Amino acid sequence: MLHALAAIVTLLVGSLLVTSTSHAAVHPVTGDPISTTFTVEVAGKSVPVTVYDDRDFAIFQWEKPGLVRITRQDGVPITEHRIRPVRMGMVGKVQGNVLEFQMDQPKPWIINLDKTRKLVIVPKVADPDFPDLLSPLVFDVKKLGADSTGQRDNTELIQKTIDTLPQGGTLYFPAGVYRTGSINLKSDMTLYLDHDAVLKGSADHKQHQFHTSYLYFVRAQKTQNLKILGNGIIDANGHDVRQACKRNATSARSPAGAWSSSTRRT
């Protein structure tokens, strides 16, 4: 989660782990592939299960205690399972290819079923730092004209909004995918990404700022009273940017190699 990230003032574009997959379905907001290994229900409601790296994730907004129901999509009966942290003593009930357990508190769990992929259950609670959207100090980038589909670059609009934010202002990103090149934050402001909001690095290397052997994505230099909050995702999209720089090596000021890793999930 983005809480406690205020101390991180620079996110560098680098090489992301990219999962090669043939999944046809993708999450409508994040674009992550939908799992073909598990389905998940919490308190009777279906929860999207997405694939990232070597694990599947079921991330949902916590509403109330309820029964968690995990189903193996291949129909194979479950013979072994482990619900971690083990120290919590969570006990599940297995019936055929279904595992059930009661979730009474919004805590994350890691599920191991036989030799399938790990499944991470992540309930998200209401955010006490959620901004007052009616405040004149809160600026919704989507209402200002930002594209939230991930199809259009928003670098100029986002940077201009940051530059003109009043002292103590908040730049708010609702759910959606916001493509942008390098952006520079400043003192006395808050960057807030809501649940299912993704700030994604533009694949166009020309939209990024270079500094010797690396590129900046989200940068804050000599700042104070700066906060980065919310339950969204900052994705530097390092793999695509690096490939773009390689293809345009003659025009991009990017030395060979020397790429830093980027921050993906919250």
How far apart are the C-alpha atoms of 91 and 93, rounded to whole Å?
A: 7
Locate the DSSP E strands across 157-213.
169-173, 176-180, 183-184, 189-193, 197-201, 209-211
pLDDT the model gives residue 2: 40
Cβ density class 127-138: b for 16+ within 10 Å, e for less? beeebeeeeeeb
pLDDT the model gives residue 5: 37
Hey, what are 43's tokens? 């308190």
Whole-number Cα distances in Å, 60 to 46, 49, 50, 192: 10, 10, 11, 19
**Distance in Å from the first CA to the final CA of the chain:** 4
pLDDT the model gives residue 215: 72
pLDDT the model gives residue 248: 61
pLDDT the model gives residue 125: 86
Hey, what are 180's tokens? 């942008």
pLDDT the model gives residue 242: 62
How far apart are the C-alpha atoms of 7 and 83, rounded to whole Å?
A: 33
Cβ density class 6-16: b for 16+ within 10 Å, e for less? beeeebbbbeb
Q: What is the pTM of this model?
A: 0.60
CB-based contacts of 203: which residues, under 8 Å, 6+ apart? 237, 240, 241, 244
Q: Which portions of the chain are predicted below pLDDT 50?
A: 1-23, 250, 252-266
